[in-house]
Structure formats: C-alpha cells, structure tokens
Amino acid sequence: MKKLLTLFFTLSMMVFTTSCDNDFEDLNVDPTASTDLDVNPKFAYLFLKSAGDEFEHSFTNILCAGQLTQQVIDTDFPQGSIYTTREDLQAAWWIVAYQNTVKTVVDIIAQLESEGNTGTEMGIARIWKAYIFHTIVDQYGDTPYFGAGQGFLSGNIRPAYDDAQDIYMDMLNELEEGVAQLGSPSTLGTADLIYGGDTAKWSKFGNSLMLRLAMRIKNVDPSASTAWANKAITGGTMSSSSDTAFMTHTNGPEQLNQNAWGVYQPRYVNARIGATIYDWLADHGDPRLNILADPNGPAAGNRYGLERDQLLAIYGETPESYARVNPAITQLDSPWVFISYAQTSLLEAEFAASAGNHTLAETKYNDGVTANMQIWGSHYDASLTVDNSTINDYLTANPYDASQGERMIGEQYWAASFFDFFESFSNFRRSGYPELQAFGGHDPFPGNVTNGAIPRRLMYPSTEGSVNASNFDAVVQSQGPNNQITRVWWDVN
C-alpha cells in the first residue's frame, strides 16, 4: 500500500497541483487538467484528497466542528468553543473542496462521459460526488453545485449558489442511479483506495449514504425521508464492519499519504479531549474512554467554553490538566473512516424507533454500539480490542430504553462519529442529541457572535462577496446572513 500511495501521489501531483489563490477563477479553472491522463490515477488522487490534509482538517473539521460538538478542545484556537469567528478556520474546508475534490470528481465524470462509460466507474464517481457535496451542504448550506467545477469544461467560473433542498434531492437521485450503474467489477484496480474494486461494498456504501441523507431531512420533509430511507435499506446498506469505508494511510513519504490528525496532534500540543464526551464516557462506564482519551494522561477532559486564562482563574487548570486524544489512534498511518457500519446501524435503529419498531431498534442499537467499540481494535491498533464480554456488560448496564430511544441513539451516534466531527455536528443539529449546553454551561463569552447560542453552520469565505458578488448577494438574500446562526435548509429542530 505504501508503494501504491507513493505512486499515485507522484502521478497526481504532476497533473493536479493547483494554486493556493482563493479567487473563484482558481477554484473553477484547472489549467493543468490533462484529457490524456487515464482516469485511474485521477480516482486515486480524488480518494486521497477526500480523506483530507492536515490544513483543512485541523482548521475546519477539528477546530470548528470538533469544538462545536464539544469532543475536542484546543485552547490555542478557542474560537469554536467560545463562538467567535476566525474566518480562515471556517473557510478552509470550502476552499480546498472547490480547489480539489469538486473539480476532480467533475472532471472524472466528464471524462467517463466522453469515453462512453456508463457502468461501474461512473456509478462510483456519482456516489462519491454525493459524498463530497453532502459535507459541504451540511456545513455551509446553499452552495454552488449544478455548475460547480465546470470552469475548465464550460467556462462558468462564477457558478450560482443552488438551493440546499434542490441539491439534496439531486444527491439522493444521483445515489440511486449511481448504485444502479454498479455492475461488473470496476477497472480501477488498485486506484480504488476505498474498496479495491469490490462493487458489492460500493453498493452498500451508496445505500448507506442514501440513508444518511434521508435521515438528515427527517424533520423538514418526513415523507421523502421515509421513502428514501426505505429505499436505502431495501437496496442493502452496510451489514458489518467489513463494509466500513475507510482510507488506509501510511507514514509518508508525503503528507498527503498521512492521517490528518496524526500530522495535527504533535504540532498542536494543547489539543485535548473535551470534558463533555470524556465525562459522558466515564459516567456510562464506557470502555471507549481509554481508547479515545490517552489512558496515560490526566483523568479529565478539557472544560468547554472558556479561554485558557479563564480556566486558570476559575479552576486553577491549564491544558496540561486534561487528557490528550489517545496517541494510539492518532498515528500518521491511522486510517481515515468516511462512513462506518456503526453509524449506519445506529441510523437504522433510529429509523426503526421512529416507526415504533423498538425490537428492531434495540438490535440495530446494540449492533452499532458493538461495531464502534470493536473498530478501534480491528482498524486502528490491536491493543485497543474490546472483548465481547466487556461489550455485553456495557450493553447490560446501559440497555436500550424505548422511552429514551432517540436520545440514546443520538448520543451513541455522537460517540461513534469521533474524528468525523462534521457528521457529529450535522447529526447534533438535526436530532438535538446529545443535549449540548452552550459554553459547556459556563457564562457566555462576552465577545461571542451568536447571542449566546450554539452555532448552526459555518461561514462562507468573505472573498465570495467580491469574486462571485452577484451570486453571493443572491444566496445571502435567500438563505440569510453569512453568519453562524443562519440555519441550513434541513436544520429546523
């Protein structure tokens, strides 16, 4: 695998190296795109970039979403926990997506169309495009979608912002049609860094993503949500952890091959696990406590909603008072999980609970909890293996309760989405669980920009107001101000 990733890193850098200029011309025009390059290294590059580099993960996934969900805290960059704004943190994911992954997947689809490929490879590309965009839409709301990445194909360098509802409906259709196109084994070979060409697993991934999107719109369009969830489950979602979609990383030779958190953690020594999740794990006697938190560090999580000087003044504590995220799961060669069986099973549990089928909900709940407890030993480090008796003891001590089903499922989904903080943030806003307290229950930070409320979205880059002015003005008029309290379409809880 190390040789494979090195090979594709070299090929892709020759073809896809882009400017760091944030102007929309650069975000939509790919001056180095090669129509002669085989599609396989493009797919390999796409998967590698979708797993993300330290820049966009540290800035946006960790320091924004991770802090907003109170799972990690970095007092060197407290903006996400005190609800102030630092634009580069908010915008990093958007910028990298439109510079790299969006353009790449649009280019792949265009090349496959030109080659007359309507089979498995096209199906995978369409499924992955939906995966890329669902994160963007969930964090930012209305976004360029139908015309995005078309600059080098059609000359449209200033695409309109599309309505999130329209995007969601199209993504669901793309997933349905993309899964239907999966047939014979793909020709991607080792360029398929997710499933190695296993189309049965790609089908389960597509349907599991369909289920995720269906559940996301549960509160705003319940009939469509139910229909799409049924379609996803009937089509076949992930059925075991062997179906989990993840990226195998290596310790070099380039950062693109490395796990983003593995790069981040040694650079930012004050990054700690949040007290909210630390205390929840401890209160439930959860064996994941010493998996997510460094068992050799202090037995406490970082308090939420306070700057470092406040921590010292109020509690006499410093970042060194709190546990770091366990180094065993933050290695440079740790995997990156895109969608897990645990997440999928818990969504199926919620869907069953909503329909009143608590027998099935309990089964799926237990399966999801079990899968997340087991993945750390099977996918990260064998020393983190949780044996079956320990899992059974936990489920006995914390049994599924139909009267509290959605709360319990939501909390477990939060825990099972550790590292995937975007998904944790999205599901919290959609479900209301866990019941997070603004500022961790402390007094509101005086300089907060949300009127003391937990933020509901991330902000577009301010440069959009100049380089894509008319379209930016239109989206502000339709969606609402470009701030952290304007809600995305599906967020009505």
pLDDT digits (tens, 9 = 90+) for 341-367: 999 999 999 999 999 999 999 999 999
DSSP 162: B
Q: What pLDDT sits at residue 11?
A: 45
DSSP string, 288-303: THHHHB-TTS-S-PBP
What sign does the dihedral 427-432-434-435 (CA atoms) show? Answer: positive
**pLDDT averaged over every residue in the chain:** 92
Residue partners of 25: CB distance under 8 A and separation at least 6: 151, 157, 467
Q: For 245, phi and psi rounded to 5 degrees?
A: -90, 115
Q: For 484, phi and psi rounded to 5 degrees?
A: -90, 0
DSSP string, 332-382: TT--EEEE-HHHHHHHHHHHHHHTT-HHHHHHHHHHHHHHHHHHIIIII-G
Binned at pLDDT 50, 70 and 90, residue 226 comes out as very high
Question: Cα(438)–Cα(110) distance, rounded to whole angstroms?
Answer: 45
Mean pLDDT confidence for 207-222: 98
Q: What pLDDT sits at residue 367?
A: 98
Residue partners of 417: CB distance under 8 A and separation at least 6: 343, 423, 424, 427
Q: What pLDDT sits at residue 31?
A: 36
Kindly tell me if the per-residue pLDDT of 5 is higher than 60.
Answer: no
Joined tokens for residue 262: 């593995």
Kindly tell me if the per-residue pLDDT of 156 is higher than 90.
Answer: no
Q: Peptide bond before 253: cis, by omega within 30 degrees of 0?
A: yes
Percent of the chain with pLDDT over 70: 92
Helix 120-140 and helix 421-431: axis angle, to 10°? 60
Kindly tell me if the per-residue pLDDT of 151 is higher than 90.
Answer: no
Percent of the chain with pLDDT over 90: 88
Per-residue model confidence as pLDDT tens digits over 266-291: 999 999 999 999 999 999 999 999 99
Per-residue model confidence as pLDDT tens digits over 6-50: 444 444 443 443 333 333 344 444 433 445 689 999 999 999 999
Joined tokens for residue 149: 């990445």
